[in-house]
């Protein structure tokens, strides 16, 4: 997160927590026409679901409640000068990662990461989260460990395992082979148009719940 986003997230976190959800992090996108403040909320990581009960997820009502309370607080605290748009969203399956604890929570998952400063000639990488070492995140990249100081991570998101979610498209089938025309047959009689079977259509992943 940027310094401004971090400042705003710290300011709003207690208010969001009072509503029974957790503020994962914030994105602050300044623009001449008006900034965008995007908040990501989730069910608290330590929340226990009763046995046999359906797991709880962030609902549109949660986003609406957070939007109302946060808007009132921002009006009073006034941390953003000028016009801005407030968006409150659930994390989605390609959830962003804002803290080192969130990286630790998803060890073994693959993340797409952007760096503030180049490292080994890289500004972007997609790698598996291996472990946390102090204030650094250890990734496995191309079969080798790649250690990144958390302070050098600009932004990061999980990369969904579409196959595990049952949302991966089936592999396209190649065009049928063409047979040579038999004796006496005209070549145009035996031609077969190249056809490529389209992947099976699967339902798209749910988009993050969002209230503006």
pLDDT tens by residue, 173-192? 556 555 555 544 444 443 33
Choosing from 89, 117, 147, the residue where a domain stops is 89
Whether 152 maps to a domain, the answer reads: yes
Whether residue 79 sits in one domain with residue 25 = yes
pLDDT above 90 coverage of the chain, percent: 63
pLDDT, mean of residues 144-166: 90
61-74: pLDDT as tens digits: 999 999 999 999 99
Kindly state the average pLDDT of the residues 181-210: 45
Per-residue pLDDT at 212: 60
CB 121 within 8 A of CB 70: no
Count of the separate structural domains present in the chain: 2
pLDDT at 141 over 80: yes
* 60 shares a domain with 25: yes
Yes or no: say if 59 and 41 are a contact pair by the CB < 8 Å rule. no
Which residue matches tokens 């080798």? 144
- Rounded Cα distance between 106 and 103, Å, is 5
Q: Parallel, antiparallel, or unpaired: how do β-strands 35-42 and 84-89 relate?
A: parallel
21 and 62 share one domain:
yes
H or E element, residue 41: strand 35-42
Q: Can you tell me the mean pLDDT for 144-171?
A: 85
CATH of the domain at 67: 3.30.300.70
CB 31 within 8 A of CB 20: no
Q: What's the mean pLDDT when you consider all of the chain?
A: 83
For residue 80, what are the domain limits?
Answer: 3-46+53-89
Q: Is there a single domain that holds both residue 74 and residue 135?
A: no
Give the pLDDT score at 196: 42
Q: 59 with 206: CB under 8 angstroms?
A: no
The answer to whether residues 19 and 71 belong to one domain is: yes
């Amino acid at each position: 997160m940027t310094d401004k986003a971090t400042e705003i997230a710290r300011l709003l976190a207690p208010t969001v927590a009072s509503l029974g959800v957790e503020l994962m992090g914030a994105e602050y996108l300044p623009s001449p026409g008006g900034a965008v403040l995007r908040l990501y909320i989730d069910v608290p990581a330590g929340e226990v679901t009763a046995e046999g009960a359906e797991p709880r997820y962030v609902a549109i009502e949660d986003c609406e409640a957070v939007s109302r309370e946060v808007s009132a607080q921002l009006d009073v605290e006034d941390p953003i000068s000028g016009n801005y748009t407030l968006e409150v969203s659930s994390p989605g399956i390609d959830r962003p990662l804002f803290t080192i604890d969130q990286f630790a929570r998803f060890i073994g998952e693959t993340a797409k990461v952007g760096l503030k400063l180049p490292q080994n000639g890289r500004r972007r990488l997609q790698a598996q989260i291996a472990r946390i070492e102090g204030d650094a995140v250890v990734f496995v990249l191309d079969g080798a460990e790649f250690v990144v100081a958390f302070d050098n991570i600009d932004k990061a998101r999980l990369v969904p395992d579409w196959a595990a979610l049952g949302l991966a498209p089936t592999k396209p089938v190649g065009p049928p082979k063409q047979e040579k025309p038999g004796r006496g047959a005209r070549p145009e009689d035996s031609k077969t148009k190249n056809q490529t079977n389209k992947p099976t259509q699967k339902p798209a992943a749910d988009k993050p719940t969002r209230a503006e």
